[in-house]
Amino acid sequence: MPYINIKITDESVTAEQKAKLIQGATQLLVDVLNKNPATTVVVIDEVNTDNWGIGGEVVTKLREQAQS
Amino acid sequence: MPYINIKITDESVTAEQKAKLIQGATQLLVDVLNKNPATTVVVIDEVNTDNWGIGGEVVTKLREQAQS
Amino acid sequence: MPYINIKITDESVTAEQKAKLIQGATQLLVDVLNKNPATTVVVIDEVNTDNWGIGGEVVTKLREQAQS
Amino acid sequence: MPYINIKITDESVTAEQKAKLIQGATQLLVDVLNKNPATTVVVIDEVNTDNWGIGGEVVTKLREQAQS
Amino acid sequence: MPYINIKITDESVTAEQKAKLIQGATQLLVDVLNKNPATTVVVIDEVNTDNWGIGGEVVTKLREQAQS
Amino acid sequence: MPYINIKITDESVTAEQKAKLIQGATQLLVDVLNKNPATTVVVIDEVNTDNWGIGGEVVTKLREQAQS
Q: CB-CB: which of E5, E17, E32 is closest to A17?
A: E32
Q: Check CB contact under 8 Å for D55 and B38.
A: yes
CA-closest candidate to residue D9, choices F34, A46, B39: F34
> Tell me: the pLDDT tens digits for E12-21?
999 999 999 9
CA distance B14 to chain C (A): 10
Label residue D58 by pLDDT band (50, 70, 90).
very high
Angle between helices C15-33 and B15-33 (to 10 degrees): 160
How far, in Å, are B41, C24, C39 from residue A63 at the CA level?
A: 35, 45, 39
What is the chain E residue with the closest CA to D5?
E3
> Are D5 and D43 within 8 A, CB to CB?
yes
Report chain F residues whose CB lies below 8 A from the CB of D34. Answer: none
Report chain F residues whose CB lies below 8 A from the CB of C49. Answer: none
> Tell me: the pLDDT tens digits for D39-54?
999 999 999 999 999 9
Name the catalytic one among C1, C2, C37, C63.
C2
Label residue F11 by pLDDT band (50, 70, 90).
very high
* One-letter amino acid for residue C20 of the chain: K
Q: Is the pLDDT of residue E8 over 90?
A: yes
The helix/strand/coil state of B49 is helix
CA distance F54 to chain C (A): 24
A–F contact: 3+ Cβ pairs < 8 A: no
Q: Are strands C3-9 and C41-47 parallel, antiparallel or unpaired?
A: parallel
Label residue A67 by pLDDT band (50, 70, 90).
confident
Burial of residue D45 (number of CB atoms within 10 Å: 0-12, 13-18, 19+): middle
The predicted pLDDT at position B68 comes to 79
Q: How many CB atoms lie within 10 A of CB D48?
A: 18
* Spans of chain B, pLDDT less than 70: none
Q: Are strands E41-47 and E3-9 parallel, antiparallel or unpaired?
A: parallel
> Tell me: the pLDDT tens digits for E45-67?
999 999 999 999 999 999 999 88
* One-letter amino acid for residue F15 of the chain: A
Across the range F26-40, mean pLDDT stands at 97
What is the chain B residue with the closest CA to F37?
B39
Q: Check CB contact under 8 Å for C8 and B33.
A: yes
Q: Check CB contact under 8 Å for A50 and D26.
A: no
> Which residues of F are marked as active site?
2
Q: How many CA atoms lie within 13 A of F14 on its CB side?
A: 5
Note whether ipTM > 0.85 here: yes
E–B contact: 3+ Cβ pairs < 8 A: no
Q: Are strands D52-54 and D41-47 parallel, antiparallel or unpaired?
A: unpaired
CA-closest candidate to residue D52, choices B22, B23, B20: B22
Structural domains of chain D sorted by starting position, each given as residue range(s) with its CATH number in brackets: 3-67 (3.30.429.10)
Rg (CA), chain A: 15
Cα–Cα distance for residue pair B48/B13, rounded to 1 Å: 12
Q: Check CB contact under 8 Å for B55 and A37.
A: yes
Cα–Cα distance for residue pair F68/F47, rounded to 1 Å: 23
> Are D21 and D58 within 8 A, CB to CB?
no
